[in-house]
Structure 1
Amino acid sequence: MKHSRLILLFVLASCGAQSALAQGWQSGRQGGNWGGGGWNKLEMCQGCHDMGMRGGMGMGMGMNRGETAPKLGGQHAAYLEKVLRAYRSGERRHPVMNRMASMLTDRDIADIARFYSQAE
């Protein structure tokens, strides 16, 4: 019984931390475009690089092949921007990332990179 209570407490705390991070970012905005489509684009990233219960920030399952997506939380914003731009231009190739990055504006890339760089 004690063990199941600890697990429940951990799950609730994890969900609360995820929600607090998302709400804090969305309300603070820090000059980003999160009031419009930017937040939806971030949610698109979290489909694979999630903040959920699959191992924590950035350890979601990759698309179709059971790969693990890389951890993005705490990564340098400049690096993330460079990589996303390389995927968008086709300089760097990945079937899913090229498609996802092609939908991002420069502002979206900067905002997403800043979000993940500030996450743990």
Structure 2
Amino acid sequence: MKKFVIAAASGAMLLISSQGMAANIEAGKKKAAEVCAACHGPDGNSPAPAFPKLAGQHASYLMKSLNEYKSGVRKDPIMAGMAAALSKEDIEDVSAYYASQSGLKTKY
């Protein structure tokens, strides 16, 4: 029962936090294919352990991370360059796309 309550509360928070976000998942898929897929995989399930899996992550977490790379709060020369080329709309769309994907479990 405790797990159910936690899951229900988490789901409600996710719904509340995503309201007002007018992301376009199809546009995010296209932009991810152009910018992100080489390292993170076309669906966010990175084929290499050196690159994080993005599939199934919360859109708000992905947006926060990309905005922090773009602003320089998070330091990574590769991600800073990738994020610099993304507009606010691109960040919302890519984040929504990866959040909509299934995070596959892969053993390395």
Contact 2:55 2:99 in 1 (8 A): yes
| 2:91 matched residue in structure 1 | 109
| Equivalent of 1:77 in 56, 59, 80 | 59
Equivalent residues of 1:49, 1:70 under 8 A apart: yes
- Considering only aligned residues, what root-mean-square deviation do their CA atoms show, in Å? 2.4
Cα–Cα, structure 1 residues 96 and 31, in superposed 2: closer, same or farther, change >3 Å?
closer
- Which structure is larger by alpha-carbon Rg, 1 or 2? 1
The answer to whether the Cα contact below 8 Å between 1:78 and 1:113 also exists between their aligned partners in 2 is: yes
Question: TM-score of the superposition, structure 1-length normalised?
Answer: 0.58
Instruction: Report the Cα offset of residue 42 of structure 1.
Output: 1.0
Higher relative contact order (CA 8 A, sep 6+): 2
Tell me the TM-score normalised to structure 2 length. Answer: 0.64
Q: CA deviation at 1:81?
A: 0.2
Identical residues among aligned pairs (%): 37
CA deviations over 1:63-98 (Å, ceiling 9, x no partner): xxxx62100000000000000000000110111100
